[in-house]
Amino acid sequence: MKIYTKTGDQGTTALFGGTRVPKHNLRIDSYGTVDELNSWMGLIRDQPVSEQAKKNIIQIQQHLFTIGAILATPPEKALLKNGEERLNISKISDDDILMLEREMDEMDRELPPMTHFILPGGHTSVSYCHITRTVCRRAERLASELHEHAPIDPQVLKYLNRLSDYLFVLARKLSKDLQAEEIKWIPEKN
């Protein structure tokens, strides 16, 4: 299989099911941002994180590929002519979302309570988590906008929302593990 096809040389690309759209289409932007998010997740996996975190991140990356496939499939192409689903893959489940919640609860048990917002930074690995969290929020915003125009599986929105929370808690856990200072945001008063 060749990587280059030359079919996108005129600024269009094919969605799952064959429909061609401009590369700046909201659906393309949405799953492209999920792809970007997946790459950032890989960078976090390459950081000094626990084996459990690495295992979780690999699972998350698998789910992000699933989300990308869901977002790349327009609703009118979701079913084949025989009525079967075009995407013959597992969808995002409640258990996938619960896994993120369980992992957050587990990490939270080791962390001091939050009393203020925290400035991103303190260690390169922590900063990568925060950058990834903001990319996840962008992916969520784009998926939400896409959902307004062409409904998508609501589990995708839930998963992306929970994943950004997971990344915030992971950043805090890394701060603790790497002994990085968490600087609180304390607004200045006039």
Cα distance between residue 100 and residue 117, in whole Å: 21
pLDDT tens, residue order, the chain (190 aa): 678 888 778 887 777 776 777 678 899 999 999 999 999 999 999 999 999 999 999 999 999 999 999 999 887 766 667 777 767 778 999 999 999 999 999 999 999 998 899 999 999 999 999 999 999 999 999 999 999 999 999 999 999 999 999 999 999 999 999 999 999 998 888 8
pTM over 0.85: yes
21-79+88-177: CATH number: 1.20.1200.10
37 with 137: CB under 8 angstroms? no
Extents of the domains making up the chain: 21-79+88-177
Cα distance between residue 66 and residue 60, in whole Å: 10
